[in-house]
Every structure is written in C-alpha cells, then in structure tokens.
Amino acid sequence: MSGYGRLLLVINGAALLGCAVFDFALQAQLLTVLLLLLPFADKDWHLPVLSGYKNQWLWYLMVLSCTAVLLFLHPDTVQAVVYILLFTALPEEWFFRSYFMQRVQALNAGMWRANIITSLLFALLHTPAQGWQGLSVFIPSLLFGYLYQRNRDLLLVILLHTLFNTIYIIYLHDVLNEL
C-alpha cells in the first residue's frame, strides 16, 4: 500500500472516531454518509463484489428465515429493522468489511490481525453512544469479519448484521439497560 493509502486509512479512521465521540446535531446522518463515501476517496480501493459465492443459499435461507420469524413474532419492529438494514448494517459493513479491513490487510497485517484491528475500531465507535456496552459488538464484529474474509459476500454479512441487531433490540436492549 502506498504512503497515500496509509495516510488516508488513518485519516478515515480518525474522522469516524471524531464524529462518533463528539455529540452534535445530525451526528448519525454524518456518520452514515462518511461510512458510505470515505472509501471512494481512496484511489487504490476497488468496489467489492456484493455476493462472492453462488452456493451461499443455505446461509441466506437461515438468516432470512430467522429474520422473518422475528418480524412475524414482533411486527412492531418492522420499521426499526428496515432502518437497521439501511442506515446501520449496510454502511457499517460497507466501510468496515469491504474497505477498512481490506486496506488494513493490504498493510501485510494478515487476515486475523486485520480482523482484530477492524473489530476494535468498530467496537470503539459504538462506545460513545452505548457506553461500555458498545464493546460487546467486538465478538460479532470478529464473526462478520471472518465470514467476509472467508466468503467475500458483503450482502450476507449485511443481512447477518441486521439479524444480530434485530435480536438485540427485541430481546437484549431492555435487559442490558437495566443492569
């Protein structure tokens, strides 16, 4: 990776952390825009393939079935799930898996080290809004990173992220906030 690419990677990470740390009007909207657009500033980055393997139908079937069951059991969450898909899972996975992790890996960090570094940044970005509970996203982030590295299937990781967040808002959010 060129010196320009390294500098851009540091600037992108710092911009996201700064935006996540400081509380201001339209913070969530700016973070979403940055997550979606920052990769395009890197001239060495290439658009990812949305779905890497054609034989992922079983994964898709499991993730979509679980999400459908949850929505059937909790129809009041449909709007929240659509919001999670479009404004949380899609921009976060787009940036962290298809861009940031790949660029860290290009620094000869290796697959696991790139996944750990990316997951640490991912968890740190969740702490300003969620406090120490934000660090709980580290383990799912490692899973998302592993699946993306293994399959290069961004759509599957986006859908799985949506499912995890749906489970969190339905079953865990209120319980964890009482602790």
Higher pLDDT pick, 119 / 22 = 119
pLDDT at 158 over 80: yes
Task: For residue 107, give the DSSP letter.
Answer: I
**pLDDT confidence band for 65 (50 / 70 / 90):** very high
CA distance 166 to 45: 31
pLDDT at 127 over 90: no
pLDDT of residue 58: 83
CA distance 102 to 106: 6
CA distances from 147 to 1, 16, 69, 153 (A): 24, 24, 23, 8
Higher pLDDT pick, 82 / 51 = 82
pLDDT of residue 52: 58
Q: pLDDT (tens digit, 9 = 90+) per residue, 78-115?
A: 999 999 999 999 999 999 999 999 999 988 889 999 99
pLDDT of residue 87: 92
pLDDT of residue 72: 96
Average pLDDT over residues 139-155: 93
Inter-residue contact 159 to 67 (CB < 8 Å): yes
Contacts of 153 (CB under 8 A, 6+ apart): 51, 52, 53, 56, 59, 147
Question: 0.95 exceeded by the pTM?
Answer: no
Higher pLDDT pick, 83 / 30 = 83
pLDDT of residue 111: 93
Average pLDDT over residues 33-60: 79
Domain boundaries, the chain: 3-178
**pLDDT confidence band for 24 (50 / 70 / 90):** confident
Q: Which range among 77-86, 118-127, 137-146, 160-169 shows the weakest confidence by mean pLDDT?
A: 118-127
- Between vectors from CA 30 to CA 170 and to CA 101, what angle results, nearest 5°? 75
pLDDT of residue 179: 64
